[in-house]
């Protein structure tokens, strides 16, 4: 039994409706420390022995089904890439407001560019979410499996890049490329976790939806009942990598309705299941609700990497997750259709 399942509610459950239409219940806005989120050594996914790869996949299967969140260690990405990204985050967010607003997301339909400080209020709190962010997306020019000198720079028009920060874009894409390679490898592990052929998702990830975000959370004085760093939500795509700095703040909602602290573990990456994967697995994998509350007393930075399938691929049910007794719960749409709808919902807040 999970540790939070033994806790007793001290007050009636609170309710909240998320941007994806999901209704959630929780017992308190105050988070707890609990041994709920597993730490998985994924070095075995790089083994030539299928048995080693399957052993990791079974650990991921359990975590993805039970809570939808887990840490991965021994993932093969040098810490210098995260350090470079956080350095660029501090450069970008340290600019004056006018320069940041010159690349504001409101200038485009896409879910990219600068998201201003305290502009959004995802959960209807007294105060807006105390955070700012910068988003960018997949670009084949920087994809290790595609990249060549002849590859067009597809984000030249759609993405908003600051003009006055030399090295900003290249440094971010260096880290993006590392995470992209790991994500493709992990889709093979997820296939094994779903008891499918290891290459089941290969066609889905040739041209993936692979967005990335810099986030900055100033220390907050307000209580979580009045303000959050980022409100409770689920992610859009298949799964997310979250690289955290050493400041705590990420919190995960357990199935028993308690907010659990997901404290930083040096050298780890947090992985969480997102909505597209939950849909395809017919709710076998859990897209878990999470939020950020920065009570660390210092500036907090994190870097989520949102990995999804090719926009043209249909989110068809995974064959091992449906049956006559357990039919598909969701209509089949393309990845692009679903992501566009979710981005529109998010921008409305």
| CATH code of the domain covering residue 120 | 2.60.120.330
Give me the pLDDT at residue 154, please. 59
By DSSP bridging, strand 69-73 and strand 39-41 are parallel
Residue of 97, 118, 116 whose CA lies nearest to 105: 116
Output the CA torsion 144→171→246→343 (10° steps): -70
In a domain? residue 19: no
What's the rounded Cα separation, in Å, for the pair 300 and 244? Answer: 8
d(CA 326, CA 320): 10
Under 8 Å CB-to-CB from 252, ≥6 apart: which residues?
36, 37, 67, 69, 259, 260, 262, 272, 288, 289, 290
Residue 20 lies in a domain: no
Residue 214, beta-bridge partner list: 134
Tokens of 201: 């998702």
Number of domains forming the structure of the chain: 1
Decide if 204 is inside a domain: yes
* CA 190 to chain CA mean position, Å: 16
pLDDT value of residue 4: 52
Instruction: Determine the distance from the C-alpha atom of residue 278 to the mean position of all C-alpha atoms in its chain, rounded to a whole number.
Output: 13
Task: Point out the residues of the chain with pLDDT beneath 50.
Answer: 1, 5-9, 157
Q: How does strand 300-308 pair with strand 259-261?
A: unpaired
Q: Contact 16/232 with Cβ under 8 angstroms? A: yes
Strands (E), 12-112: 14-17, 23-26, 39-41, 69-73
Would residue 121 count as lying in a domain? Answer: yes
Q: pLDDT for 18-71, tens place per residue?
A: 666 667 677 777 787 888 899 999 999 999 999 999 999 999 999 999 999 999
Structure tokens at 206: 């040739």
Alpha helices in 67-107 (DSSP H): 79-93, 97-101
Q: Residue 220 is part of which domain span?
A: 34-348
Residue 273 within any structural domain of the chain:
yes
Residue 9: inside a domain, yes or no?
Answer: no
Tokens at residue 38, please?
Answer: 């597993």
CA–CA separation, 233 and 45 (whole Å): 30
Residue 24 lies in a domain: no
Nearest alpha carbon to residue 252 among 38, 87, 1: 38
Whole-Å CA distances, 119 to 132, 229, 248, 261: 8, 11, 22, 25
pLDDT on residue 48? 97
Local structure of 211: helix, strand or coil: strand
pLDDT at site 1? 47
The predicted pLDDT at position 2 comes to: 53
Asked, for residue 5, whether it belongs to a domain, the answer is no
């Amino acid at each position: 039994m999970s540790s939070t399942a033994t806790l007793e509610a001290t007050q009636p459950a609170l309710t909240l409706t998320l941007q994806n239409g999901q209704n959630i219940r929780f017992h308190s806005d105050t988070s707890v420390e609990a041994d709920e989120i597993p730490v998985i050594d994924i070095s075995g996914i790089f083994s030539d022995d299928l048995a080693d790869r399957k052993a990791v996949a079974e650990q991921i299967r359990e975590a993805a089904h039970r809570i939808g969140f887990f840490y991965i260690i021994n993932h093969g990405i040098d810490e210098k890439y995260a350090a470079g990204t956080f350095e660029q985050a501090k450069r970008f967010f340290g600019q004056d407001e006018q320069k940041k607003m010159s690349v504001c997301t409101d200038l485009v339909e896409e879910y990219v560019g600068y998201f201003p400080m305290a502009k959004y209020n995802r959960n209807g709190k007294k105060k807006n979410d105390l955070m700012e962010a910068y988003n960018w997306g997949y670009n084949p020019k920087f994809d290790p499996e595609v990249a060549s000198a002849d590859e067009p720079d597809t984000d030249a028009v759609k993405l908003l890049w600051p003009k006055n920060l030399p090295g900003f874009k290249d440094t971010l894409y260096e880290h993006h490329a590392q995470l992209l390679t790991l994500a493709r490898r992990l889709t093979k592990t997820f296939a094994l976790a779903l008891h499918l052929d290891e290459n089941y998702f290969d066609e889905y990830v040739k041209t993936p939806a692979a967005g990335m975000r810099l986030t900055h959370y100033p220390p907050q004085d307000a209580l979580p009942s009045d303000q959050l760093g980022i409100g409770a939500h689920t992610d859009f795509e298949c799964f997310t990598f979250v690289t955290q700095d050493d400041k705590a703040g990420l919190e995960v909602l357990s199935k028993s309705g308690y907010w659990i602290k997901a404290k930083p573990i040096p050298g780890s990456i947090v992985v969480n299941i997102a909505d597209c994967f939950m849909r395809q697995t017919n709710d076998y994998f859990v897209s878990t609700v999470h939020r950020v509350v920065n009570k660390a007393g210092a500036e907090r930075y994190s870097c989520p990497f949102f990995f999804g399938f090719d926009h043209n691929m249909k989110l068809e049910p995974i064959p091992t997750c449906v049956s006559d007794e357990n039919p598909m719960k969701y209509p089949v749409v393309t990845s692009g259709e679903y992501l566009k709808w979710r981005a529109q919902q998010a921008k409305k807040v």
